[in-house]
Amino acid sequence: MKIPHSQIKPFLFTFVLLINSAFLCFGNDLNSKIDSSKTKTISFTIKLKSENKVTIKPATLKFNKHLAYSFTLDDGYRSAYLTAFPLLNGGKISNSSINEWKIDQGGDGTVSEGLFYSDGMGNKIPFKLALAINGGSIRDLPENRGHLSWSEVKEMYNAGWDILNHGFHHATKHGTNYKAEVTENTTSIQQNLDFTMSHFVVPGGEGDEKYYFEYEKEALNNRHFSVASYYGVGPVFKVDSKVDLDKMISARTFVQSSKDTTSFRTMDKYSKTIDSIVKQKDPVWFNEFTHGTGNTNLWNLSMRFPDFKYYMTTLANKYGLKGNDSIWMAPWQEVYEYIWLRDRIKVNFQHKNKEVTVTIQLPEIPETFRNRDISLNIETPSKFEIESNKDLKIKDDGKTTHKQIFIQLK
Ligand SMILES: [Zn+2]
């Protein structure tokens, strides 16, 4: 029997009620388990320094940021590890490195201190990207391979980079088994890296007319929450009210180098797009892609390393820690999960004199989520502290700018 996802819970609930009436003693136990998972709440107490007005609500974006920017590298090329990762996360960028396809996937050989934004509470966070990978092309040899190895992907994943499903073989041509492409890649990543991908990026290429519809359908039917495809919503998302994330299909736009290798004019054009997005009054989420980031413009669908470095450094200098610190440079899944949770929590607070009790009702969070973070925007002229709470991982800026509270759910 096939049950639509949205009906699974009512179905289970009815099932439990049936069992309950048949086996009363077990039934009570089952019932209380279900009830507690449905009404899970957390709470904590804020002590205000002075008696002032307070309002508390979920922050539009994590850490009260103005721009969420998600950037994905498609196809799992090795330049991601040799150049992009050390540039953003800090480390030695590879020297020029000629790969099996006779192209240079290395960078400029310099040491990068990393590119950062801050959480507004004194901690710097490195820029992170997503990788859309094909398990079928991940390998350890040859030495000059063009694709990533499992250990390289794992290292980037552990550093907070998101890994997105891009099909097992990147197949697009007539005769492709779309369902197998989606599910074999899921299995491959589960077996080799021990986690489950939950977002899909349609592989581009020559295929039957509108083949991407098949990928969209198979990905959404096989436990993916969203698909990046040829046409869809975005790349700029309004996030100041509830975002329709359910079975989301988004449009991919690419940042690519031009033939001009003597100036950064092409990159300046892309940067100007971001400038115009940032200028908007309300916070937004912007989402872009490229392929390689090595010295050669791979397949003419990539960013040459000097362009990539210029583009990311410009972004960091304007909107990161060295600039106005308004960016939340976070990969697709992280932003998706934040907004999903933001739109489903219920925040209540009771204010009496200098004490505020905050209660947050939580939804049931899907198992494949990596992030269970809540940022609260607090408006009060008063400094504050949060009464220590061993059940919660909680941070705040109550002693300084008194604008936010950050909770990491277990
Ligand atoms: Zn691709």
Residue 26 has pLDDT above 50, yes or no: no
Q: What is the mean pLDDT of the chain?
A: 91
pLDDT at 390: 86
Weakest-pLDDT range from 81-85, 199-203, 238-242, 406-410: 406-410
Q: With respect to residue 156, please indicate whether it lies within any of the assigned structural domains.
A: yes
Q: What percent of the chain has pLDDT over 90?
A: 89
- Whether the predicted model's global pTM rises above the 0.85 cut: yes
Instruction: Assess whether 222 and 266 both reside in one domain.
Output: yes
- Tens of pLDDT, residue by residue over 180-227, are 999 999 999 999 999 999 999 999 999 999 999 999 999 999 999 999
Q: Ligand 1 centroid vs 29 CA: distance in angstroms?
A: 49
pLDDT at 7: 38
Instruction: Assess whether 152 and 229 both reside in one domain.
Output: yes
Helix (H, G, I), strand (E, B) or coil at 390: coil
Q: With respect to residue 399, please indicate whether it lies within any of the assigned structural domains.
A: no
Helix (H, G, I), strand (E, B) or coil at 188: helix
Residue 278 has pLDDT above 70, yes or no: yes
Residue 159 has pLDDT above 90, yes or no: yes
Q: Ligand 1 centroid vs 72 CA: distance in angstroms?
A: 11
Mean pLDDT of 357-377: 97
pLDDT at 388: 85
Question: Considering Cα of 252, then 180, then 149, then 90, what sign does the dihedral take?
Answer: positive
Mean pLDDT of 371-376: 97
Q: Ligand 1 centroid vs 78 CA: distance in angstroms?
A: 14
Residue 39 has pLDDT above 80, yes or no: no
Q: Ligand 1 centroid vs 346 CA: distance in angstroms?
A: 39
Q: With respect to residue 348, please indicate whether it lies within any of the assigned structural domains.
A: no
Structural domain harbouring 329 = 63-337
Q: Ligand 1 centroid vs 265 CA: distance in angstroms?
A: 26
Instruction: Assess whether 227 and 195 both reside in one domain.
Output: yes
Mean pLDDT of 88-116: 97
Q: Ligand 1 centroid vs 13 CA: distance in angstroms?
A: 42
Residue 24 has pLDDT above 60, yes or no: no
Q: Ligand 1 centroid vs 166 CA: distance in angstroms?
A: 7
Domain count, the chain: 2
166 band by pLDDT with thresholds 50, 70 and 90 = very high
| Domain end position, chosen among 277, 302, 337 | 337
Q: With respect to residue 32, please indicate whether it lies within any of the assigned structural domains.
A: yes
* β-pairing verdict for 373-379 and 55-58: antiparallel
In this structure, the number of other CB atoms found within 10 A of the CB of residue 248 comes to 19
Q: With respect to residue 57, please indicate whether it lies within any of the assigned structural domains.
A: no
Helices of type H across 233-296: 265-279
Mean pLDDT of 137-164: 97
Q: Among 49, 98, 80, 70, which Cα is nearest to 336's? A: 70
Q: With respect to residue 402, please indicate whether it lies within any of the assigned structural domains.
A: no
- Tens of pLDDT, residue by residue over 307-352, are 999 999 999 999 999 999 999 999 999 999 999 999 999 999 999 9
Instruction: Assess whether 9 and 107 both reside in one domain.
Output: no
408 vs 410: CA distance, rounded Å: 6
Residue 151 has pLDDT above 80, yes or no: yes
Q: Ligand 1 centroid vs 310 CA: distance in angstroms?
A: 23
Q: Ligand 1 centroid vs 204 CA: distance in angstroms?
A: 5
Q: Ligand 1 centroid vs 75 CA: distance in angstroms?
A: 5
Q: Ligand 1 centroid vs 245 CA: distance in angstroms?
A: 23
Instruction: Assess whether 83 and 127 both reside in one domain.
Output: yes
Instruction: Assess whether 173 and 318 both reside in one domain.
Output: yes
Q: With respect to residue 226, please indicate whether it lies within any of the assigned structural domains.
A: yes
Q: Ligand 1 centroid vs 167 CA: distance in angstroms?
A: 9
pLDDT: is 264 or 6 the higher one?
A: 264
DSSP secondary structure, 113-176, as one string: ---EEE-SSS-EEE---EEEE-GGG--S-STT-SB--HHHHHHHHHTT-EEEE--SS---STT-
CA–CA distances in Å: residue 153 to residues 25, 129, 194: 49, 12, 12
Instruction: Assess whether 6 and 109 both reside in one domain.
Output: no
Q: Among 404, 402, 406, which Cα is nearest to 48's? A: 402
Mean pLDDT of 150-173: 98
Q: Ligand 1 centroid vs 339 CA: distance in angstroms?
A: 26
Instruction: Assess whether 34 and 142 both reside in one domain.
Output: no
Q: Ligand 1 centroid vs 134 CA: distance in angstroms?
A: 8
Q: Ligand 1 centroid vs 68 CA: distance in angstroms?
A: 23
Query: Which amino acid, one-letter code, is at 360?
Result: I
pLDDT at 38: 58
Q: Ligand 1 centroid vs 184 CA: distance in angstroms?
A: 16
| Domain end position, chosen among 316, 337, 358 | 337
pLDDT at 37: 52
